[in-house]
Amino acid sequence: MGQFDWGVIARSWPFLAQGMALSALLVAVATAGGLLLGFGLALMRLSRRAPVAAVATSYVTVMRSVPLILVLFWFYFLVPLIIGHPVGSLASALTAFVLFEAAFYCEIIRAGIDSVRPGQTEAGLATGMRRWQALRLIVMPQAFRAMIPLLLNQIIIVFQDTSLVYVVGLHDFMTSASVVASRDGRPTEIYTLVIVVYLVICFSLSKGVQRYKRASPR
């Protein structure tokens, strides 16, 4: 440790911070967009209309069966060929993350809705509520409490997956760290920082999940 150069971390931090900002953007957009699209897919999967449910089920099955890196490749290389003009690396990555994560958020939301007893929806309908009102006022508040631990776990996975954007030429936190380590010839210092950052973020979120589970009413 006597040869450990702390200065390389300080000198490289502005560049590393840019990578962290990209990772944070990917997590935020993937989570927000994935939840929105996932909610729609979950409602489709719970639909009484078989064709509607089948479309959503097929989408979720396909997305959950392929690796994220393949989805990133597909949007970056194949979509421009289909639409006839190039798509930027960032736009491709954001789109791929949203569409990929939507399949996982769909299953989380669907499981949360299924955890609420049907009798509560029926009771709401009996009081004169419309079905969408019962969903919004009765089902979703209870379902959301059940979903929180799984949602936080999924956010951890999304953060870890942001390192895959190097395949489309983007510099997330991990890729930026690799560039600095290669450029300055100080892999020990840089990758130690990466380990600490990933550990702090993922461990903090994991502890948050555990605390929420203990505090939640049974």
| Direct distance between the N- and C-terminal alpha carbons of the chain, in angstroms, rounded to an integer | 48
Task: List, in sequence order, every beta strand (DSSP E) within 62-194.
Answer: none
Burial of 154 (0-12, 13-18, 19+ CB in 10 A): buried
Q: What is the pLDDT of residues 114-141, one digit of tens each?
A: 888 877 777 777 887 887 888 877 888 8
CA distance 42 to 60: 10
Question: Was domain 7-215 assigned CATH 3.30.70.100?
Answer: no
pLDDT band at residue 94 using 50, 70 and 90 as cut-offs = very high
pTM, two decimals, is 0.84
Q: Locate 48 and state its tokens.
A: 């009484």
Q: For the chain, which residues make up each domain, given as ranges?
A: 7-215
Cα 22 vs. chain centroid, distance in angstroms?
14
Q: What is the pLDDT of residues 6-30, one digit of tens each?
A: 778 888 888 889 999 999 999 999 9
Number of Cβ within 10 Å of residue 211's Cβ equals: 10
